[in-house]
């Protein structure tokens, strides 16, 4: 009788663990679609933009600031250097990771290095976005907006 009891208890314990495992795996997010991940579904993927306003100021003529979103990477030009970061979205949240910028010095147009520094300061603070068909707003934690319009690649 004791041997039968041990086998039954082991069987039920294994059955309970198997059912719990199945239930937990069913609750985990899949490939990013269900949990609001950026690939695919955020609307940012495979889009390209040109900045028209930085915290209410117009861009410096001759120093085009751009942004593009491809395969979970955001990249663009600061008007002088190139920048890049990994990105992920969760609802209207924009999570940028491992951001970096090349380090060339540009003399023209005059003021481009100051504009680049200002842009990168905002870039590292971006935590939300708002997207429409004709505008992308990258919004910092302080509420400042970087406004972009679509561009062709």
What letter would DSSP give residue 153? -
Q: How far is CA 125 from CA 4, 94, 96, 145, in A?
A: 64, 10, 9, 10
Q: The whole model's pTM is what?
A: 0.71
Tally the C-alpha atoms within 13 A of residue 28's C-alpha that lie toward its C-beta: 8
Q: Is the pLDDT of residue 72 over 90?
A: yes
Q: Give pLDDT tens digits for 98-138.
A: 999 999 999 999 999 999 999 999 999 999 999 998 999 99
* CATH class of the domain comprising 47-150: mainly beta
* Angle ∠(64,67,71) on CA atoms, nearest 5: 155
Give me Rg for the CA atoms of the chain: 24
CA 5 centroid distance within chain: 55
Do residues 45 and 81 make contact, with C-beta atoms less than 8 angstroms apart? no
| Domain range list for the chain | 1-30, 47-150
Share of the chain above pLDDT 90, in %: 69
């Amino acid at each position: 009788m004791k041997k039968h009891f041990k086998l039954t208890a082991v069987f039920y314990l294994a059955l309970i663990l198997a059912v719990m495992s199945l239930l937990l795996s069913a609750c985990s997010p899949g490939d990013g679609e269900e949990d609001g991940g950026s690939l695919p579904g955020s609307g940012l993927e495979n889009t390209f933009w040109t900045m028209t306003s930085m915290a209410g100021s117009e861009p410096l003529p001759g120093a085009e600031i751009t942004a593009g979103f491809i395969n979970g990477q955001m990249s663009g030009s600061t008007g002088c250097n190139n920048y890049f970061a990994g990105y992920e979205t969760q609802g209207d949240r924009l999570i940028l990771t491992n951001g970096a910028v090349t380090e060339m010095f540009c003399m023209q147009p005059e003021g481009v290095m100051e504009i680049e520094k200002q842009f990168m300061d905002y870039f590292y603070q971006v935590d939300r976005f708002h997207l429409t068909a004709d505008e992308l707003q990258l919004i910092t934690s302080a509420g400042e907006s970087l406004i972009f319009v679509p561009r062709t690649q």
